Structure 1
Amino acid sequence: MDKITNYIANDTLNLWREEGNRQIPQNFEVFRNLVAQAKDYLKQGNHNMAAIYGDIAVEYASLNQHCGLFVSPELENLLLTIGKEALQSSSHRSENRSLHEMPKNILHIVYGVWNTGGHSRLLWRWIQQDAERSHSVVLTEMRLDDTPKVFREAVYKSHGKIYALNKTIGNFISRAKRLREIAASADMVVLHTMHDGTLPVIAFANREQSPPIIYVNTADERFWTGVCISDVVANLRDSGMRLSQKRRGVEPMRNMVLPTIVEPTRRILSRSEAKRQLGISENSVLLLSIARGVKYNTSDGISFADVHLPLLKKHKQAILMVVGPGNRKDWSEAIQQTQGRIRVFGDTPDTDVFYQAADIYVDSYPFVSITSLLEAGSYGLPLVSRYPYSSDACEIFGADMPGLTGNLIRVQNLGEYTSILSRLVEDEEFRLSLGEATRKKITEIHTANNWQQSLEDVYLRAATLPRINVTSAPQEEIFVGEPDVFLSKVCPFKKIDVEQLILNRVKVMPFDKRFSCWIRQIKMGNFRRISLMNLFAPEWFYENLWLYAHLQKFYRRLRYGSWNPSLPARQR
């Protein structure tokens, strides 16, 4: 079994490596072309379109196609230039506190906040724990009403405010200006950004007139922007910190680890009671996994469910529950073969009953879910994760985190995976003792006062270091090796074509550019991609609901004719 699974793993990795070697140079050329277009617009003095194309380049490299880069000094320097030219410098420093003082008013910047996902939970738990400070939040893309109640309550309880930046009337540069104005009264800025990091770089291009900035490296396996303005990069794990220094050029004194905060365990149900609530036998051994569906992508025809078939066939009392993927057709055969002992659920913010019922926690694959591992471990569950790579160069793909080291079981092949899970199923004493050791370690590092001290260290470093100052952009060099060659297979990239990335930003373009995009789509025959609403209405119309409602009403009358008495009321 081990020889077979080792062969499968090595053969698969070789195929991934070959594909990555071919794809990365092609992706880089697309990225370079987008950056070149941004530069052309900058030369023309069109700062808004330069910023938009810079933003498209960031999303392409971060969410769409890996380009052999984890940071682009050339692009960051371009964004800094846009910010310095387009945003008039103030004659005085912003209203934040003087250097070397610990901050009282924190401003967090984030794309959006959702009920599920480790990044969102990190934000509101941070605000809840850091209760002696006021925390405000800028949402760069999301409406306030779409955010979770627990997040809003945390901000308001801290006497902070929430700003929806996409309500700003004007263009991309107007948003950057508004962001800088909001930050003027903050003592410190915390970036929770990834592919959406373009605006902060432009807004805070003049570092001497900006508060200290902390970048939270929540997407350490991806390309992102913000190195050039971040006084401290707060990595969530050691592998991310090492990659930040090696591949992003973050200076050691600005490179720190801030553990992910988790809530103290609130076990209100016994394991038996929780199992009864989930409708399974008290004598069963429950294996649990929780993550977003994209983290369970099927690799080479072998699904996450398939991997557990040998274990479930051997141990009839074992059950696998997976929360997040929802209905998956590629799992159906495995579910049938186990007579329903593989149960799959969609996203749910309330996962406590699952954790309290579980006996063993198995990590998502091929993309790990570290927040879920920490949450499971805090309930005293033994943790098992897969790592098929033979070199430390790919450590960023593994599940490592302060609090997991020494307790997390990490296996390299499927034979070893089945073997260790079998032992955990059979040996109750082993799984309980390992789970308890894991719980204690996580509690020591990732909760309450212990985590707070780590945060204070990050605040102090950001407040006392001289503001970062980037003077030049070194030559761009792509890397075609590990881990880069595996990224497109491991990470859940969206694979959106460049034309769609451009169309996604049509609403923040001036009318003549929106019209050009609209005409180009007609010529290409992409009628489903175009909309008259997108052509005539800038984005802030959509975000200011009363204007959007009136525009929709006008559009319907124009299209259907309100004089037609037979027209259904919903179309008038």
Structure 2
Amino acid sequence: MQKIANHTLQTLHKEGYHLIQKRFDVFRSLVSQTKDLVERNDYSAAAVYAEIAALYATFQHCGLFVSPELEQLLLTIGRKVIPNNICSSNSTALLPGTPNRVLHIATHLPPIGGHAKMLYRWIQQDSERIHSIAITRQGLDDVPSFLKEVVNNSQGKIYSLSESIGSIISWAKRLREIATSADLVVLHTHQEDVIPIIAFANREQSPPIIYVNQADQCFWLGYSISDVVANLRESGQRLSQERRGIAVERNLLLPIILNSIQRKLSRTDAKQQLGLAEDSIVVLTIARALKYKTTDGISYADVHLPVLQKYKQVIVIAIGAGNNDEDWSVAIEQTQGRIRALNERQDTSIFYQAADIYVDTFPFVSNTSLLEAGSYGLPLVSRYPFSDVCSIIGADSPGLTGNLIYARDLEEYTAILSNLIEDLEFRLSVGEATRTDITEIHMGINWQQSLEDMYFRAATLPRVSMMPTTDQMSSNEPDTLLTRIFCQKDIDLDRIIQSRMRKMPFNYRLHNLIKLIKIHGFSRFDSFKWFTLLLPEWFYSRMKNLLF
């Protein structure tokens, strides 16, 4: 099996090497289109094409983690369209370098997933400050209620940019106006979000900015305006320095904030409430559906068959897997239903309390879920068949380092799980050591001190400046594997353009719609929704619930 795994990795490297150059060429063409529009002073269209380029690079890894050329174009747009007379906050912090009013900027905050929960816990923990949120692409009605409550309790406000009439340029202007009352800005934005760069292009007139590196394995926009990059794990911090060019003094580590965990149920009681046998061994995994991905023809369920066939008391519960498109029916039948694929859900606490062992997803790791599981005192196992230079692909985090058990291949994975199943004392001792370290680093006063240090650094460093440089593609590790593992299929560029058409000026919407119909016909579009592509984003956002 190890030989098969090594051969698979070699094949992925070769395929990735050829894909990178092709995808880089597509990305370069999109950057060139953006540059042409900037030179023609067509800033509204240029901003949209910059977002298209960034979105393409995010999902079709091009051997880049940042693009100095694309960010420079966005800075140019911002300096042209944002008035120079906008002043920052005059509010006085208690001490130099300690902000009082914090503005968090996000693209979208769904109720399920780690991003909204991290922001909620951040504001809840940092309770001595006033926290507001500006969302660039989500209506206020869709903001999770727990975020509304915590922001309101801090005396802050929530702003939705895309609900107002306008375009990317007008939303960027609005964001810059909102930020005048902030002492410090924190970016929790999606990788392709161009609005903050345009809004804060005039760095000397902007508040200090922190970028939260939530998607550290991906290309992202924002490093040109970020005075500090807050990396959530060690591998992301190394990559930020080596591949994004973030200066050491601006490249910090901020552990993911977690709530203090208090068990309400014993493991036995939790199992009983879930209808599980007291002597069962529960192997748990929790993640979004897309992370349960078949790799090398072996499904996530198939990986656990040897353990399930060997130990009849073992049950695998995969929360989130019930929403995916993978067919686990054969594996479920072979184990008499001891693999349970459940839909995504928010009430996961009882499952953590019932579990005996927690296993990570593969090849998409889930650090937040690992940390939450570890905080309940569960031993953690993650697969990592890659070389040391590919650490960004694997799972790691402060608190996990030294505790998370890595498996280099499927045989070792089975052996590790077997040892944990058979050795109760070892299982409990590993889980307790993990819980202790995570609690020490990710909760309460220790996490708050990490946050205070980061605030101080962002507020006292000179504003970041970016020297214009040329994009440099890499076709080495980890790029070749990222190209194949996370971007297996070529994404239809027309689909990406279509997804951003409503943000374009009307003449570009019409031009692209005619082009798409000529190439693909009306079969490209669901029902008669093609005509909605001619609607501006703000109008469509308001009317879509009425239209469909």
Range into which the TM-score falls when normalised by the shorter chain:
over 0.9
Instruction: Quote the Cα distance in structure 2 between the aligned partners of 1:187 and 1:85.
Output: 24
Instruction: Quote the Cα distance in structure 1 between the aligned partners of 2:315 and 2:545.
Output: 50
Q: Which segment drifts farther, 219-228 or 481-490?
A: 481-490
Q: 1:495 to 1:346 in 2, by over 3 A?
A: farther
1:338 pairs, out of 329, 335, 346, with: 335
2:502 pairs, out of 496, 499, 507, with: 507
Aligned partner of residue 181 in structure 2, secondary structure: coil
Instruction: Quote the Cα distance in structure 1 between the aligned partners of 2:524 and 2:37.
Output: 25
**Alignment of structure 1 residues 292-307 onto 2, 5 Å:** 292-307=288-303
Instruction: Quote the Cα distance in structure 2 between the aligned partners of 1:455 and 1:528.
Output: 51
Q: 1:493 to 1:19 in 2, by over 3 A?
A: closer
Displacement, 1:533?
4.3
Tell me what 1:383 maps to: 380
Instruction: Quote the Cα distance in structure 1 between the aligned partners of 2:488 and 2:344.
Output: 19
**1:494-517 Cα shifts (integer Å, max 9, x gaps):** 854211211112212222111111
Instruction: Quote the Cα distance in structure 1 between the aligned partners of 2:6 and 2:530.
Output: 51
In angstroms, what is the RMSD of aligned CA positions?
1.8
Tell me what 1:248 maps to: 244
Residue 353 (1) aligns with residue 385 (2): no
Displacement, 1:114?
1.6
Q: 1:533 to 1:96 in 2, by over 3 A?
A: farther
C-alpha contact 1:295 1:492 (8 A) present in aligned 2: no
C-alpha contact 1:94 1:209 (8 A) present in aligned 2: no
Tell me what 2:153 maps to: 157
Tell me what 1:486 maps to: 481
**Alignment of structure 1 residues 340-489 onto 2, 5 Å:** 340-389=337-386, 391-470=387-466, 472-489=467-484
Tell me what 1:540 maps to: 538
2:37 pairs, out of 41, 45, 48, with: 41
Aligned partner of residue 301 in structure 1, secondary structure: coil
TM-score by length of 1: 0.92
Instruction: Quote the Cα distance in structure 2 between the aligned partners of 1:96 and 1:213.
Output: 17
Aligned partner of residue 228 in structure 1, secondary structure: coil
C-alpha contact 2:99 2:183 (8 A) present in aligned 1: yes
**1:457-489 Cα shifts (integer Å, max 9, x gaps):** 10010011011112x321221000110001133
User: Structure 2: where are the runs of 5+ without partners?
Assistant: none
C-alpha contact 1:511 1:535 (8 A) present in aligned 2: no
Residue 521 (1) aligns with residue 516 (2): yes
Q: 1:482 to 1:96 in 2, by over 3 A?
A: farther
C-alpha contact 1:96 1:184 (8 A) present in aligned 2: no
Displacement, 1:356?
0.4
**1:225-268 Cα shifts (integer Å, max 9, x gaps):** 11110000000011100000000000000000000011111211
Q: 1:87 to 1:9 in 2, by over 3 A?
A: same
Aligned partner of residue 367 in structure 1, secondary structure: coil
Residue type of the partner of 1:68? Answer: G
Aligned partner of residue 16 in structure 1, secondary structure: helix
Instruction: Quote the Cα distance in structure 2 between the aligned partners of 1:242 and 1:396.
Output: 9
Aligned partner of residue 227 in structure 1, secondary structure: coil
Q: What percentage of residue pairs aligned between the two structures are identical? A: 56
Residue type of the partner of 1:512? Answer: N
Residue 70 (1) aligns with residue 65 (2): yes
Q: 1:410 to 1:178 in 2, by over 3 A?
A: same
**1:427-452 Cα shifts (integer Å, max 9, x gaps):** 11110111111111110000111111
Instruction: Quote the Cα distance in structure 2 between the aligned partners of 1:370 and 1:125.
Output: 16
1:89 pairs, out of 48, 71, 84, with: 84
Displacement, 1:97?
5.2
Instruction: Quote the Cα distance in structure 2 between the aligned partners of 1:467 and 1:359.
Output: 48
Aligned partner of residue 229 in structure 2, secondary structure: strand
Aligned partner of residue 543 in structure 1, secondary structure: helix
Residue type of the partner of 2:367? Answer: I
Q: How many residues align?
A: 543
Displacement, 1:183?
0.8
TM-score by length of 2: 0.96
